[in-house]
Amino acid sequence: MLTPDNAVPYGAFGEAADAFQHALTCRCTVSDTAEQLHGAIEGAGLWVLHEIDPQSLLKRGGFAIGAARQILFFHPRFLARILAADPAALLEAPLKFALLETAGGRAVLRWTDPALAFARYGNTALADLGLELSAVCEEIASATLPSHGMNH
């Protein structure tokens, strides 16, 4: 339960994030969106590796926030390509989607653009992989939040 003494109000989304993140908003609950996201990730041939519940974790620490989830996903075929191209890029895996409930009860889905992350390595194989993973993330997001009720 959110109370004035332990509630953590969300600040405004920073405009700088628009340069390296994508975001979609829908009139869905975080829990329903997380369930749809799991299906879309698996439907894209990737594995859901873990789901983190920041709301529950913060509650254990004495803080209250709205619904939130972080879903980590990837596939070994991509990890093998990363390691063959440049093992230093291992830090870019797994990929992650974040879901936050806004004050208006909408779910916001956010993710970092893999194309930008992998391009930093100056390696053609990683840049190509980043573009491929960026397209996969877009497909997953579109499958999770169909065009009705969402915006960028």
**Each residue's pLDDT tens digit, 21-50:** 888 988 889 999 999 999 999 999 999 999
Among the listed residues 46, 27, 12, the one whose alpha carbon sits nearest the alpha carbon of residue 109: 27
CA-to-CA separations, 97 to 33, 38, 118, 122, 137, in angstroms, rounded: 11, 10, 17, 25, 9
The CA distance from 83 to 112, in Å, is: 20
Mean pLDDT of the chain: 89
**Which ranges of 4-147 would DSSP assign to H, the alpha helix?**
30-43, 54-60, 76-85, 114-119, 124-144
Q: What are the beta bridge partners of residue 23? A: 110
Confidence band, pLDDT 50/70/90 cuts, at residue 147: low
Walk me through the domains of the chain, giving residue ranges and CATH numbers: 21-144 (3.30.310.70)
Q: Which residue has the tokens 């939130």?
A: 68
**Res. 4: pLDDT tops 90:** no
